[in-house]
Amino acid sequence: MKKIDLKKKYKPFYSERKGSMSIVEVPEFKYLQCSGQGNPNTSADYQNAIEALYALSYKIKFAIRESKDVDYGVMPLECLWWMDDMNEFSRDRIDEWKWSAMIMQPNFITKEIVEAACQEVSKKKQLPYLDKIELVDFCDGLSAQIMHIGSYADEAPTIDKLHKYIAGNGFERHGKHREIYLNDPRRTAPENLKTIIRQPIINP
């Protein structure tokens, strides 16, 4: 059986040393994506979206292992966060945040594979967000990123540090704030959570 380590293959985009920041050129990837709006800490829609994304991602993984004799690990959850006016984007207005929850897929995954997996999942589970998941191509492009270690609620100083790094290197923020969650918060103490925070940038 052929094994693919996607985290290793795309290491520059799924790892970052503690205390360091880097500028990376992120290529286009395929993602399963589900979008909504509201506070992720209290929104049932957000939790339903994540449950559906993982259920579908694992069903696809097992289908590929059986049909193509290829095995790979399911990638971490990622989220895009934004407001229509990013100048107003702050934790104080978290109830107004829009989000797209995403899990990166191998580049050989097709819409037909996703549709077949959706049908199989729906036979066993009632997941209200399953039919809202799409397979999309998305490219962050030129971006700055930093590793945050600790609670999600304590990200503000890390985000501020990243924004100052961007401005200090002559760039401007562009597009949506991305977070990549490298741990399962159900199994990891808040102080040990690892999150890559990424911000697309442009030359002014």
Residues 54-83 have pLDDT tens digits of: 999 999 999 999 998 999 999 999 999 998
Query: How many domains, in total, are found in the chain?
Result: 1
Q: CATH no. for residue 73? A: 3.20.80.10
Residues 19-46 have pLDDT tens digits of: 789 999 999 999 999 999 988 888 899 9
> How much is the pTM?
0.93
Could you tell me the residue range of the domain that residue 48 belongs to? 2-202
Identify the pLDDT of residue 20: 86
Q: What percent of the chain has pLDDT over 70?
A: 100
> What is the overall mean pLDDT for the chain?
93
C-alpha–C-alpha distance, residues 113 and 3, integer Å: 19
Residue 79 — φ and ψ, nearest 5°? -140, 140
